[in-house]
Amino acid sequence: MIFYGTKIFVKQLGNVHQAAVCGHCRAQTGHAVIRHWTWFTLFFIPLIPLWKSYFVVCPGCGEKTKIKKSDAKKMISQ
Ligand SMILES: [Zn+2]
């Protein structure tokens, strides 16, 4: 039997310097920018990197909003 699947590695890239209002809980806080990096795994060992996704996360409610890579870079370098 072959065990395969995917695993997501999460990394916090930085914080958005400008406070923003969360679209979910309406809190005005500094949001975090995170990257999800999905890998193909074989027998639970990550072998092949598949894709990266970028999100802005509200620290209050944990709401994630998907953003583009270019926007993620802009948000943390401002
Ligand atoms: Zn929120």
Over residues 14-28, mean pLDDT? 88
* CB-CB neighbours of 20 under 10 Å: 15
Distance 17 CA to ligand 1 centre (A): 16
pTM, 2 dp:
0.84
* CB-CB neighbours of 33 under 10 Å: 21
* SS3 label, residue 46: strand
Structural domain boundaries of the chain? 4-77
3-state secondary structure 5-45: EEEEEEEEEEECCCCEECCCCCCEECCEEEEEEEEEEECCE
Q: What pLDDT, in 10s, does the model give residues 45-68?
A: 999 999 999 999 999 999 999 999
Distance 20 CA to ligand 1 centre (A): 10
Element (H, E) at 72: helix 69-77
